[in-house]
Amino acid sequence: MFILNPLRLLPALLLAAVLHASAQARDYTATAPDGVTLAVHESGNPQGVPVIFIHGLLGSHLNWSEQLASPQLQRYRLITYDLRGHGLSAKPSGTEAYSDGRRWAADLQAVMQAAQARKPVLVGWSFGGAVISNYLAAYGDKAIAGAVYVDGVIELKPEQITPHPEIYRDLVSDDLRTHLDAINTFLRLCFQKQPAATVFERLLANAAMASWDMQRGVQSMTVPAAEGLRAASVPLLLLYGEQDALVRTEPAIARAVALNPRIQSKRYAQSGHAPFLEEAQRFNNDLAAFIDQRR
């Protein structure tokens, strides 16, 4: 008698899950209070716990490829969006559209409303952490289930940011070659272990799409972290690469915990600024565990 080995079905079941998630993918837009249109991408289980991924400076939803393609995370409702001045979202003119942190908070609120995401978990990488801090300061934490800072910018303070004055100067240069070389250097600093060439080239092209006005404006963006983090009562988790070349891990974690002693943290010894790509499987495991604890 033929006995079916259930282990042989596992690859097919995983493939079916991924294909099902892909069938649920959809793109739409959200509109910020100041009229900026934000590109939103959604995949995964539409009935699952909503998770909103917020990319970093010069990024887009493409940064989260290892999470969006993960069979482990397909049971959640995976929502990404391109920040103002990035990717497929609108790029308003003038630095004033980017220097006020409340605009970025309002963008996130607009995405949550457009997605009708009830009690989402927020996941912010690098500059995306500053967006979360601004959101908490402006709206509090009643509408979210928790937040994860991934090598997140707690505040734009010198003691928390590794100094690269020549890079940030050249990012806003009017000379195209200088500007593009600075983008290349900045992106390489994101990784202790450099990604595959095809991945890096895609992220580099993506970074070159970012608004120059945005890059000028965010260097003086307001981030009232004390107001946001201190009052937060939902679970907050910090995931940082110990080899980070852009954010100073120790001072950033220390500042966050000083503001809110309930904050938990984990460190990735083999990662730089982007553990969600450099140690993707471990990151996905930690993220899934955090989300499941919120249910």
What's the pLDDT score for residue 25? 87
Each residue's pLDDT tens digit, 229-284: 999 999 999 999 999 999 999 999 999 999 999 999 999 999 999 999 999 999 99
- pLDDT (average), residues 160-172: 94
Asked whether 77 and 6 are in contact (CB, 8 A), the reply is no
> How many whole angstroms separate alpha carbon 264 and alpha carbon 260?
10
Q: What residue ranges do the domains of the chain occupy? A: 29-293
Asked whether 71 and 17 are in contact (CB, 8 A), the reply is yes
- Give the CATH number of domain 29-293: 3.40.50.1820
Each residue's pLDDT tens digit, 85-111: 999 999 999 999 999 999 999 999 999
Contacts of 182 (CB under 8 A, 6+ apart): 167, 169, 170, 171, 173
Asked whether 143 and 73 are in contact (CB, 8 A), the reply is no
SS3 category, 78: strand
**Model pTM score:** 0.91
**Strands, DSSP E only, in the chain?**
26-31, 37-44, 50-54, 77-81, 121-125, 146-150, 236-241, 264-268
Nearest to residue 18, comparing CAs of 82, 89, 84, 71? 71
Each residue's pLDDT tens digit, 26-45: 999 999 999 999 999 999 99
Percent of the chain with pLDDT strictly greater than 70: 91
